Homo-oligomer: A and B are copies of this chain.
Amino acid sequence: MLNSHTSQFLYDQVYDLIRAQIASGSLRPGDKLPSLRGFSRQLKVSIATIMQGYTNLEQEGFITARAQSGFFVSPSIDRSIALPSATSPKPVARDIQLSGVVRDLLKLSRTPGVVPLGLANPGGSLLPCRTLARIMHRVVTRSPLEAVEYAELSGHRELRHQIAYRSGMLGTAIDPDSIVITNGASEALALSLKSVTKPGDTIAVESPTYFLLLQLIEDLGLKAIEVPSNPTHGLDIDSLEDILEQFNVSCVMCVANFNNPYGSLLPDSQKQRLVNLVNSKGVRLIEDDIYGDLHFGEHRPLPLRSFDYQGNVVTCSSFSKTLAPGYRIGWIVAESDREEMLSRKHSVSLSTSSVGQMVVAEYLATAGYERHLRGLRRRLMQQVHKMRLKLGNHLPKGTRISQPQGGFVLWVELPRGVDALKVFSRCLENQVSVLPGTIFSPTWKFRNCLRVSCGHPWNESIDQAVKLLGRVTAAEQQTRGH
């Protein structure tokens, strides 16, 4: 029975119930849904509530209405879109030369007016910007001086406390004094990587991996070695073990919770293996946990540091994917390296901007953030599923698409031979931005892959953009056929 405390959200609960049944297979394509009247009586909610839940499911393509017959699970979701292949890169430590290309691509992707399927930003309408504006007015009126003065180098004390508190709720006790607040996760990753390596070192990364990590590795004069990864379960620990045997790797960088671009989730057993492995080898481990709060499953997956009792894991995260990208607030959790990182932060940027820290600290102290996250997760999950269905409908046969378990990007493997860089360019000419797969590898692999962001709520221009992507890809495929 549905929880009736939050009547406002009842139709979302109807939605979730049906979605879960479809996902588990207890409702199959073509199956009839419970009648409005019957379901209303069974769940003890109004018919209008059931109707609203069904309407949302219909709009997203999960169910279809048939005149005089009721609602049915869509046959189209039976089109069982295949998952991308697991990767098996050659184990070679390589210099990276990617920055120039990434820079140019991202510049293009930022052109005003393009349909934003490129950058992994949450749509502005999903963010609680008015609530944050009110809180900002309150804290700045209360403490106008604090807002213009330097924050502590390690970050606003109350914000560090709130982050530690939230981490504690996950079962991972963190001392607020082991946290360093940074200019977003980007600075967190840059400071962390710089602090645990020296130029020339080799870093093991997932394949594919987030291009910013590759840029950082290039910037610091490091080498990267790609580790085979699976679109569902992430990093292949057996392969990593072989690599650590053969190569002198100083650090592993891993997005265990919803790898960008795969959306893969490293299972707990593998997280423990990974941490044990690096600890036994004396290899450092940096995790980027920015997508961890955006889980589609019931529970928030644990960060890698939960499995580490040696203080070897450095955790980086931020509020950029969940709350306010423009505030640029990220953080590092690091024990032994904290002083080193503070020193580096002092020389590259001093303390992080004060106002944003004050606002987020105040917001986290309310129940608002958890409520916001619940809504955000549901919206992103809907957007990701809808995009996956639509891409499946419009892209050529043979296309494979990841099935993320969190976050909001999709990894699309176009049929072999299709040049995704050309698809990318053609799309951009038509004011649609996606990202080509090549920048997710130091070796320019993934030439037939794209990353598609689902951060923005569905609208007509996104709908048109997906259709365009389908046409452009088909045309490119034909060209290759000749």
Interface residues of A (CB under 8 A from B): 99-100, 102-103, 106, 110, 121, 124-125, 127, 129-130, 132-133, 136-137, 140-141, 144-153, 183-184, 186-187, 190, 199, 212, 215-216, 219, 221, 323-328, 339, 342-344, 346-356
Contacts and interface: CB of A to CB of B under 8 A. Distances in A.
Contacts of A153: 106, 110
A77 to B, nearest CB: 33
Contacts of A137: 136-137, 140-141
Contacts of A127: 145, 148-149
A110 B216 CA distance: 31
A199 B221 contact: yes
A326 B349 contact: no
- Sorted from nearest, which 10 A-B pairs have the closest CB atoms? A326-B354, A103-B343, A148-B324, A215-B347, A129-B144, A183-B349, A353-B353, A133-B144, A190-B348, A328-B353
A125 B124 CA distance: 36
A219 B219 CA distance: 13
Contact of A99 (B124, B150, B347): B347
Given A151-B326, A221-B199, A355-B327, A186 B132 contact: no
Identical subunits present: 2
A140 B356 CA distance: 12
Contact of A327 (B145, B219, B353): B353
A183 B124 CA distance: 23
Given A184-B350, A186-B349, A326 B144 contact: no
Contacts of A344: 219
Contact of A190 (B150, B328, B347): B347
Contact of A124 (B140, B145, B215): B145
Nearest to A146: B326
Contact of A144 (B130, B187, B216, B354): B130
Nearest to A153: B110
B132 A148 contact: yes
A326 B352 CA distance: 8
A129 B100 contact: no
Nearest to A182: B349
A20 B299 CA distance: 71
User: Which has the most chain B C-beta neighbours within 10 Å: A110, A342, A355?
Assistant: A355
Contacts of A148: 124, 127, 129, 132, 323-327
A326 B347 contact: no
30 contacts: A103-B339, A110-B152, A124-B148, A125-B145, A129-B145, A129-B147, A129-B148, A132-B144, A133-B140, A133-B147, A136-B136, A136-B355, A137-B140, A137-B141, A148-B323, A148-B327, A149-B325, A150-B325, A151-B326, A183-B350, A186-B348, A187-B348, A212-B346, A215-B347, A326-B353, A328-B353, A328-B354, A349-B349, A353-B356, A355-B356
A317 to B, nearest CB: 15
User: Which has the most chain B C-beta neighbours within 10 Å: A186, A221, A327, A348?
Assistant: A348
B149 A141 contact: no
Contacts of A342: 103
A113 to B, nearest CB: 14
Contacts of A215: 343, 346-347
Contacts of A146: 326
Contacts of A221: 199
Contacts of A212: 346-347
Nearest to A139: B133
A141 B145 contact: no
A184 B212 CA distance: 22
Contacts of A327: 148, 353-355
Contacts of A147: 129, 132-133, 136, 324, 326
A328 B350 contact: yes
Nearest to A183: B349
Nearest to A142: B133
Contacts of A354: 326-328
A321 to B, nearest CB: 12
User: Which has the most chain B C-beta neighbours within 10 Å: A133, A344, A347?
Assistant: A347
